[in-house]
A and B are shown apart, each in its own frame.
Chain A
């Protein structure tokens, strides 16, 4: 979708054309939005300001959305920009989570060093499982990532059980900086959101570089890309590496945020949910993962919210429903229905609709 500028705004240099924020109004909005967003924890409980406007559960939800968003951004690079299907994203998150946990627990390395090392380890594992892309593509490559989704947790549970604690998982220490321990939602908010901002800017920037354009060429028509001189194999490997790095960062953050991990917390279901978030949000758009992750997480919270009401309501209207499992069943049902509706009616996702909306607003009153 070509970006339509408001009248009076024109680009006289390449940097202006590539800039993320182009108009003065957008610049003001971006700065104001960032300030307000990063000030949110200060208006919550236990803050130095003493006010309590933002409820603490909201910060927890935002933290969880942030962590998943990092992983889905990585998936966007692999699926949205390079067009390769990956069913193993949760397994790469597990690699990052366990590497970070083992480094901080068994070797005493601070969290701030363990995080990049976890990301690189996850990237290396992603690279290994991307090697079949030399010979196979499309559906078969997706099956290779499905195999990764099972082989990696087994490897974490059994041969490496001495370090990982096996199937029962392990406890993870909190990040510390000098004397300050990040043991609350408010403090982790800053860690997660700053990392999220950095990773999102990096993902957006990748699309503006040569590598990003090559990845998009691989997605759009790989035969033509090969003819143009783009080495498909190395660029697909790069995409796998980047995707797994993002998953590693998300996994490491997740481990230190939830304080305990187990191999069963990173199973095929999580990979499917992340894929669903990406599709619903819009694969191939920079804001796609944001919309998708926010929508799906909010759906999950909504399902948890209406569970007590459903428990009372359902036996009356639908007597064959088993009341005890309503809380575990509503979430998947909502997610599945929303995903199916999007696949049938808007497979390009919410970000596409958002672009259409922005273009319609800028072009009014003209139709096109």
Chain B
């Protein structure tokens, strides 16, 4: 099997790209989870999610590299600050816009993105910040994991440690969210509020508090994604939000209100991006492929794979 050729490249490379795509897609899934959470709870599509990722990663950098705190303390501190930030954002910028048309909330999240961009540049500057989490004392990165498949496929499959870690984190996050939504009181009340705000309020659920909670949890997920992305490629004020923009097709592919859809969509977009980068070119894979998938999804099945079907007569 080692000498099978697929579209001009050996089978080993195709399998390598598939595996890397699944791992890269796990970060997209993490971003998509946050987006779906906010949309499910408050029907707002958060265009500023990429910038929340950036702030979360930079907070961890500030605590870990700048102040020198231990790794787990910095991560938890970053999560705590991001949760408070999420609550604050919901209260200050989106609470006054309840009931407004969708354009107003889109513009508000876009304005929020610009504001966070400006503040991040003011506080941390425009240079990339490396986040050497998966590195030893000397600063050398951990060696990647190798699967000994040389005999079967013609080469060893390489998996970077930070990508593997992000895959594990995403799986844990997905599991935690599923358990949360199915078995806890708060989770069930969030699902009820997501179905119908007015009905939930009439049953006595604190809908506004649920919005805040959804934003706080989503901000923590964004911070996790930012930290993982920063550990992989560094925290660049331009590159990190651009990467989150590529997660938007993942959200739409999976369906705007489906957590399973966020996972599936993220993995799918990761695979599409990596395969296209391999077979065509990196720029085609990163800039073109996810948005072509987005156009296809919008034309063929706008509600996504797992989304709720909306019946519109016109």
B118 touches A331 (CB 8 A): yes
CB-CB under 8 A from A158, the residues of chain B are: 281, 283-284, 288
Give bound CA distance, A343 to B98, whole Å: 12
B313 touches A146 (CB 8 A): no
B135 in contact (CB, < 8 A): no
Give bound CA distance, A58 to B102, whole Å: 37
B104 touches A135 (CB 8 A): no
User: Closest CB-CB distance, B97 to chain A, in whole Å?
Assistant: 7
A336 touches B112 (CB 8 A): yes
B112 touches A139 (CB 8 A): no
A193 in contact (CB, < 8 A): no
Q: Which of B79-87, B222-230, B292-300 contacts A (4 or more CB under 8 A)?
A: B292-300
CB-CB under 8 A from A328, the residues of chain B are: 121, 126
A144 touches B97 (CB 8 A): no
User: Closest CB-CB distance, A300 to chain B, in whole Å?
Assistant: 12
With A154-B288, A333-B119, A340-B108 known as contacts, the answer to whether A144 contacts B295 (CB < 8 A) is: yes
Q: Mask for A232-265, Cβ within 8 A of B = 1, else 0? A: 1000000000000000000000000000000000
A-B pair count, CB < 8 Å, reads 134
B111 in contact (CB, < 8 A): yes
CB-CB under 8 A from A135, the residues of chain B are: 298-299, 302
A317 in contact (CB, < 8 A): no
Most buried by A among B118, B248, B249, B291: B118
Which residue of chain A has the shortest Cβ distance to B312 in the bound complex?
A137
A325 in contact (CB, < 8 A): yes
Q: Which of A10-18, A41-49, A109-117, A272-280 contacts B (4 or more CB under 8 A)?
A: A272-280
B248 touches A143 (CB 8 A): yes
Q: Mask for A142-170, Cβ within 8 A of B = 1, else 0? A: 11101100110110011000000000000
User: Main secondary structure on chain A at its contact with chain B?
Assistant: helix
User: Closest CB-CB distance, B266 to chain A, in whole Å?
Assistant: 16
With A154-B287, A343-B107 known as contacts, the answer to whether A223 contacts B314 (CB < 8 A) is: yes
B121 touches A151 (CB 8 A): no
B287 touches A329 (CB 8 A): no
CB-CB under 8 A from A175, the residues of chain B are: none
CB-CB under 8 A from B117, the residues of chain A are: 329, 332
User: Main secondary structure on chain B at its contact with chain A?
Assistant: helix
CB-CB under 8 A from B249, the residues of chain A are: 147
Enumerate A301-338 residues with CB–CB distance to B below 8 Å: 320-322, 324-326, 328-333, 335-337
Could you tell me how many residues of chain B have their Cβ less than 8 Å away from some Cβ of chain A?
45
B125 touches A343 (CB 8 A): no
User: Closest CB-CB distance, A88 to chain B, in whole Å?
Assistant: 11
Give bound CA distance, A28 to B98, whole Å: 46
With A135-B302, A143-B248, A344-B97 known as contacts, the answer to whether A325 contacts B110 (CB < 8 A) is: no
CB-CB under 8 A from A232, the residues of chain B are: 314
User: Closest CB-CB distance, B243 to chain A, in whole Å?
Assistant: 13
Give bound CA distance, A320 to B97, whole Å: 32
A361 in contact (CB, < 8 A): no
With A138-B102, A329-B119, A336-B114 known as contacts, the answer to whether A151 contacts B107 (CB < 8 A) is: no
Q: Apart from A320-B123, A329-B118, A343-B108, what are 20 other A-B pairs with CB-CB below 8 Å?
A: A79-B103, A138-B102, A140-B302, A143-B252, A143-B294, A147-B294, A150-B291, A153-B287, A157-B283, A158-B288, A223-B313, A269-B114, A321-B122, A324-B125, A332-B121, A336-B118, A337-B115, A339-B114, A340-B108, A343-B104
* B-binding residues in A (CB < 8 A): 79, 85, 132, 135-140, 142-144, 146-147, 150-151, 153-154, 157-158, 222-223, 226, 232, 268-269, 272, 275-276, 279, 320-322, 324-326, 328-333, 335-337, 339-340, 343-344, 347
Q: What are 5 inter-chain pairs, A to B, with CB distance below 8 A?
A: A232-B314, A268-B245, A333-B115, A335-B111, A343-B104
